Amino acid sequence: MNNQKVLVIDDEKHIVELLRFNLETDGYEVDFSYDGFDGFIKAKENRPDLILLDWMLPNISGIEVLKKIREDKDLKEVPVIMITAKNMENDKVEGLDVGADDYITKPFSLKELRARINSVMRRYHNTADQVDQGVLSIGNVVLDLNKHLVTKAGEKVDLTLKEFDLLKLLLQNKGKVMSRNELLDKIWGYEYYGETRTVDVHIRYLRKKIEDESKAEKYIETIRGLGYKID
């Protein structure tokens, strides 16, 4: 048993039972809910290690649940994988924009879902369990690896797990151009079907948080056709 808790929020009972059986077989402790409002309450009460969240839910949509999770001080760092039949690119981008750690569309294979869960959980716990590795910085932005903290001019900057990992990787490779595919491979940890726009979405949000347009602060440079770098 790994004693990690997964909360499944999906209104399709057969999907919930399928996920519950397979996750429990893999050693997870599984809780579930069939609607958005109840699912968020259960997340607040039990703080799971991972949330599998459907988009189309009764009472509150999955995207609204995700917004509430990312705004909640106790839940905002919990990884969330959206599972949904909404498979248009704009839907995926919206989910990632709001703060989903990953996105898988129905119908899905259990093998693929396991790979995505393992990748998200591995990244999450590797970051949470980091030992003292020092401090990385650029301009007035400081990333403390030991405290898992980012500050800008001394003020805390709230980053999602992927944003933190992206900033860390770019800082650790100062001056090196990192391709979108390379960032996908290192941050997402598996083949992401060439959806490099995922990287662009996260970079855009990271820039909004660490750069100051009014002062022309540009820490992350886009190298046209190649990728990104920090100097």
89 contacts 197 by C-beta, under 8 angstroms: yes
- Look up the CATH number of domain 135-230: 1.10.10.10
- Which pLDDT does position 99 carry in this prediction? 82
Looking at residue 214, its pLDDT comes to 61
In the chain, DSSP finds a helix count (H) and a strand count (E) of: 8, 12
User: Who's near 7: CB < 8 A, 6+ residues apart?
Assistant: 30, 31, 32, 33, 39, 42, 43, 46, 48, 50, 51, 52
Residue 131 pLDDT:
43
Alpha carbon of residue 227 to chain centroid: 20
pTM here?
Answer: 0.62
List, run by run, the mean pLDDT of 10-residue segments along the chain (231 residues): 85 93 93 95 93 92 92 88 77 77 85 86 61 75 88 90 90 86 78 71 91 75 85 79
Burial class (CB in 10 A: 0-12, 13-18, 19+), 28: buried
Give the pLDDT score at 130.
Answer: 47
The beta-strand segments (E) located in the chain are: 5-9, 29-33, 50-54, 80-84, 102-105, 135-138, 141-144, 149-152, 155-156, 178-179, 220-223, 227-230
CB 76 within 8 A of CB 101: no
Domain 5-128: give its CATH code.
Answer: 3.40.50.2300
Given this model, what pLDDT does residue 190 score?
56
- Domain residue ranges of the chain, discontinuous segments joined by +: 5-128, 135-230
